[in-house]
Structure 1
Amino acid sequence: MIRLSWTQPEDLLPHALVAADLDGRDAADVRERWTAAGGDPEPPASGASPEPAPAHLRELARELQTELDKLADPEQLLTDEPEDLDAILARGAAPVLPANERADHANRVHGAWLGRAAGCLLGKPVEKLPLEGIRAIARATGNWPLSGYFTEVGLDPATAARYPWNRRSRPTSLAENIDGMPEDDDLNFPLIALHLLERSRSGFETHDVAQAWLDLLPAGRVFTAERITYRNLLAGHEPEIAGRVGNPFRDWIGAQIRTDLYGWARPGDPLAAARLAYQDARLSHGRNGIYGAMFAAAANAAAVTGAPIHTVLSAALAVVPSASRYAAAVRRGLTIAREDLDDEAAVDLLHEEYGHLHWVHVLPNAALLAFALARGAGDFERTITLAVSGGWDTDSVGATAGAITGALTGARELPATWIEPLGDRLASSVPGFGGARFTALAIRTLEVSK
């Protein structure tokens, strides 16, 4: 029996109820009907409950999801968190653009690719683990605070049993078995972005992104909002609405992991990078999910100029509506980074304030990303280890933090401890990119930036 995550109606509806509550949409009647029929209102953390629901519950879940899709958004939400691009940018701040210095651009783009891979790889084996599990494993193996890739050498059986590695990543992502960068959606999506810009350097539309997914991405390599959107495209929904139908994950992190390359390709122009990110993100996400994509793209556009980290963060925050929950999460992460708390206490505070949200939701991960970038102060190793040791979506936050600080550092200055295991190669199921060299990808990225 296959229990495919992020697709079963009885598993999606509880997530949709949570999303409605967070947005302030009145879902009380839907919740009451679901629980009265025997449905579980608690969403599964892993994306799929172990056993299928009875047929009548599955049908009811589909019916109720349609009703939730029709609920009106509160007026204040529409004001604070618009989805139209012009309205998004109008509600942001005036961006402080770094000088468009292309000196050493090649080295910084190469560093961004390598940094993204290393940060992702560090986070892969502990993805989905709770914060205490990450700390327990690292301490048990003499790797705390983190100073290298995770290892199970020296890991005691009790800790290993209590906190099992990510099943898919264990064979490829521990220090003793790393042999190049293994496949990951956090690296597949920059490849898709590169493909889109190689087809049209001036830009693309959302329908081009949809077509690229269908042409290049296996369905099993997309998750949460992307999986729902992929299914809806196959069901005949147009790209403009495919992400809006039965999709409770529109405020999750999926779009934020897709857009770093748009910044690398638009050095010194965070607004242009954010506009590209918007066209990509709106296929599958809304509101804070879109803002995360725009934030990441703008940050990378500033980082590849070598701007100071505070300028990078200011430029990125400028493309996000200031009254949005995303902007508030970023600001909170920055505030905590400045407080007189040690790293563990600071992360504990983040989890205290954002731990009620799913570990793939964009808001806790945005707060953690901002915290790691600010406290890391541009230092590559410190930033990626802060990002990953902070928990939640470890490989995704590690990847974004690694891309930004990899660009700031440049490939030539990145620590060999983190870069040599990559072997300058990347595994991917995206056609044309399997076994790609990071050196070659950097050259191709430079070409689309001209």
Structure 2
Amino acid sequence: MRITWVQPEDLLPHEIAASRDEGRDVDAIAREWSVAGGELTPPVSGASPTPAPARLRALAARLLDEVDALPGAGGPDEPEDLAGVRATWPAAWSLPTGPAAYDRLHGAWLGRAAGCLLGKPVEKIPRHGIREILVATGRWPLRDWFTARGLPADVAARWPWNRRSAPTSLAENIDGMPEDDDLNFALLALRVLETHGRDFTSADVAQAWLDWLPGGRVFTAERVAYRNLLLGLAPPDTARRHNPFREWIGAQIRTDVYGWVNPGRPDLAAELAWRDATVSHVRAGAYGAIWVAALAAAATVAGDVDEVLDAGEAVLPPRSRFAAAVREARALGSGVDDWETVVDELYARHGHLHWVHVRNNAALVAAALAYGRGDLERSICAVVSGGWDTDSTGATVGAVTGALTGASGLPERWVGPLRDRLASSIAGFDGIGFGELAARTLALADPAPSGVAATRGGLA
């Protein structure tokens, strides 16, 4: 059996790619690895087909240590600490304040589940494969759940469904929301808040992982951080040791709840999200987490998707590559109806990144939200048909548009199959209803007093 996302020989090629993306010089390390017979192409699925010889595994571990010892990649444009990020935030927030509406929180949970479920069967299938499946089943452009009915055998063989997801996420099989890490982490955030309140620490999040989150249900940066916890490291070191996935999407999928409990306060949501993110991610990986938390905080009170996107951009270091990616993508998606041209341009700009990296997926989310104009169906179908990390991006886009719309306004064909039932491996949550989750989230929500302007660092 090959354990994915943790073997040194599998991590090193990803580390070389990550370090080069960050601008660090790892050419000598890459040469030494290649001359020794190591593979420089990162394994797409998390593990190479066969175990490396002991000498190569030992060399990979040593070279990973050497990369970890190189000077950091952060700079003034991409701060690595919350104080540096916070210094760029606006002095005041113009979003409405007041109690969160149950219907909008309910819509957020339902939208997150629906978007995630739509993307589950085609996770890991490239964009052109998704289109071939849809054309073959008469569902292009995407406007409904995926189905295996009528799918020619040669297309099915060429683009096999995500084997863990297809049995429960195709149109003919859906009966409630199946388990997914994009929902597990939302449940875990809810538990952290219910247990520790708003003053929770990164150590509290790490302990919650060990207490409640099965190790086999985490991947990429989270699996590395989990391993580092078991080795005795504490945050933020858990995010930094032998972790080439530190700027991938994992933290971005974990933080909606921190926004939902801070309606109209992107700053407070981002601070909570940062504490969570630094268990496993740095820089852009953490920026993705605070961006989504800010989107979520705005979506529960905003009048349109532009207000939401404005709030998300406002918490980002403005000169960071992540901020540039989402701003550019938003501009591409705004006011257009030719979605395929938008995605073509996103692939031209970000197609060199791994399909689970944070920048390309965040750009796709921003473009889909701008293109979808607040409509759940238009938005989730756009982002999922765009490929990359389809269930995660579908979940984020669904959560934003679900909150903007509210549960009472969501189409029955997208929420009905969820059966108000969520499966989870997080103890105490398996089979829970979305209405109960919305009620528990509402109980934690802490808006600014009505009529009081929100300012950075507190209330005016």
Structure 1 and Structure 2 fold alike (TM over 0.5): yes
Letter in 1 for 2:393: V
SS in 1 for 2:236: helix
Work out whether residues 118 and 146 of structure 2, in 8 Å CA contact, stay in contact via their aligned partners in 1: yes
Q: CA RMSD in A?
A: 1.2
Work out whether residues 136 and 151 of structure 2, in 8 Å CA contact, stay in contact via their aligned partners in 1: yes
Partner of residue 434 from structure 2, selected from 416, 419, 438: 438
SS in 2 for 1:78: coil
1:192-230: CA deviation from partner (whole Å, max 9, x where unpaired): 000011013333110000000000000000000000000
Letter in 2 for 1:87: G
- Distance in 2, matches of 1:234 and 1:203, equals 24
- Per the alignment, residue 185 of structure 1 pairs with 181
- Distance in 1, matches of 2:372 and 2:116, equals 17
- Distance in 2, matches of 1:203 and 1:186, equals 24
Letter in 1 for 2:20: D
Partner of residue 196 from structure 1, selected from 192, 197, 214: 192
1:39-89: CA deviation from partner (whole Å, max 9, x where unpaired): 011101111111111110001000000000011135xx4111111101012
- Per the alignment, residue 379 of structure 2 pairs with 383
Letter in 2 for 1:100: T
- Per the alignment, residue 414 of structure 1 pairs with 410
In the TM superposition, what is the alpha-carbon distance from 1:102 to its structure 2 partner? 2.6
Matches within 5 A, 1:29-428: 29-74=28-73, 77-93=74-90, 96-102=93-99, 105-338=101-334, 342-428=338-424
Work out whether residues 109 and 402 of structure 2, in 8 Å CA contact, stay in contact via their aligned partners in 1: yes
Work out whether residues 95 and 315 of structure 1, in 8 Å CA contact, stay in contact via their aligned partners in 2: no
Work out whether residues 336 and 371 of structure 2, in 8 Å CA contact, stay in contact via their aligned partners in 1: no
Work out whether residues 80 and 321 of structure 1, in 8 Å CA contact, stay in contact via their aligned partners in 2: yes
- Distance in 1, matches of 2:159 and 2:145, equals 17
1:247-301: CA deviation from partner (whole Å, max 9, x where unpaired): 0001000000000011111111110000000000011000000000000000010
- Distance in 1, matches of 2:422 and 2:176, equals 6
1:116-139: CA deviation from partner (whole Å, max 9, x where unpaired): 000000000000001100011111
In the TM superposition, what is the alpha-carbon distance from 1:5 to its structure 2 partner? 1.4
In the TM superposition, what is the alpha-carbon distance from 1:393 to its structure 2 partner? 0.3
Letter in 1 for 2:288: G
More off after superposition, 282-291 vs 142-151? 142-151
Distance 1:221 1:95, change over 3 A: farther
- Distance in 2, matches of 1:350 and 1:335, equals 11
- Distance in 2, matches of 1:408 and 1:152, equals 32
Query: For this pair of structures, how many residues does the alignment match?
Result: 446
Distance 1:432 1:340, change over 3 A: closer
1:337-372: CA deviation from partner (whole Å, max 9, x where unpaired): 137571112111111211100000000001100000
- Distance in 1, matches of 2:435 and 2:302, equals 19
Distance 1:95 1:354, change over 3 A: farther
In the TM superposition, what is the alpha-carbon distance from 1:186 to its structure 2 partner? 0.0
Q: What percentage of aligned pairs have identical amino acids?
A: 58
Question: How high is the TM-score relative to the length of structure 2?
Answer: 0.95
Work out whether residues 96 and 314 of structure 1, in 8 Å CA contact, stay in contact via their aligned partners in 2: no
In the TM superposition, what is the alpha-carbon distance from 1:8 to its structure 2 partner? 1.3
In the TM superposition, what is the alpha-carbon distance from 1:449 to its structure 2 partner? 1.1
In the TM superposition, what is the alpha-carbon distance from 1:144 to its structure 2 partner? 1.2
Letter in 2 for 1:431: A
Work out whether residues 95 and 318 of structure 1, in 8 Å CA contact, stay in contact via their aligned partners in 2: no
- Per the alignment, residue 444 of structure 2 pairs with 448
SS in 2 for 1:120: helix
SS in 2 for 1:128: coil
In the TM superposition, what is the alpha-carbon distance from 1:95 to its structure 2 partner? 5.8
- Distance in 2, matches of 1:357 and 1:65, equals 20
Work out whether residues 23 and 73 of structure 1, in 8 Å CA contact, stay in contact via their aligned partners in 2: no
- Distance in 1, matches of 2:302 and 2:102, equals 12
Distance 1:259 1:109, change over 3 A: same
- Distance in 1, matches of 2:335 and 2:259, equals 30
More off after superposition, 287-296 vs 327-336? 327-336
- Distance in 1, matches of 2:226 and 2:278, equals 13
In the TM superposition, what is the alpha-carbon distance from 1:93 to its structure 2 partner? 4.7
SS in 1 for 2:199: coil
- Distance in 2, matches of 1:429 and 1:29, equals 43
- Distance in 1, matches of 2:94 and 2:51, equals 52
In the TM superposition, what is the alpha-carbon distance from 1:178 to its structure 2 partner? 0.6
In the TM superposition, what is the alpha-carbon distance from 1:185 to its structure 2 partner? 0.2
- Distance in 2, matches of 1:355 and 1:374, equals 20
- Distance in 1, matches of 2:298 and 2:287, equals 16
